[in-house]
Every structure is written in structure tokens, then in C-alpha cells.
């Protein structure tokens, strides 16, 4: 998967999302480290993509 990211086949957010799945979905950290941010909307914390 890292090769696909480095070759431009997938973007940073797709890489983060896949890492989240591959690491067992126990924490959002792989997503937060790769193109997502946690924001508060209407009193709820949600993940937002920072990719185009």
C-alpha cells in the first residue's frame, strides 16, 4: 500500500483510511496522521477529510 501511495495511485486520505482498517480500527490515529482531522460540529466530534 505504501508503494501505491508513493506512486500516486492512492492519496493520503485513502492511505490513512486503509491503515485504520489494517490496524484493527481500535483508534483513529492512523487517520489523524494521514489526512483527517477531528472537528466539533453541533456538539459532536466528527472526522473530516483534509484531502481535495
Q: Return per-residue pLDDT of the chain as tens, 52 residues.
A: 889 999 999 999 999 999 999 999 999 999 999 999 999 999 999 999 999 8
pLDDT over 90 percentage in the chain: 94
pTM for the structure as a whole: 0.84
CA gap 32, 13 in Å, rounded:
9
What is the pairing mode between strands 36-41 and 44-49? antiparallel
Predicted pLDDT at 52: 82
Predicted pLDDT at 17: 96
CA gap 42, 52 in Å, rounded:
24
Predicted pLDDT at 1: 85
Q: What is the DSSP letter of 37?
A: E
Domain ranges of the chain: 2-49
Amino acid at each position: 500500500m505504501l508503494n501505491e501511495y508513493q506512486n500516486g495511485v492512492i492519496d493520503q486520505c485513502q492511505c490513512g483510511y486503509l491503515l485504520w482498517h489494517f490496524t484493527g480500527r481500535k483508534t483513529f490515529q492512523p487517520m489523524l496522521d494521514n489526512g483527517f482531522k477531528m472537528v466539533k460540529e453541533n456538539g459532536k466530534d466528527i472526522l473530516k477529510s483534509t484531502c481535495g
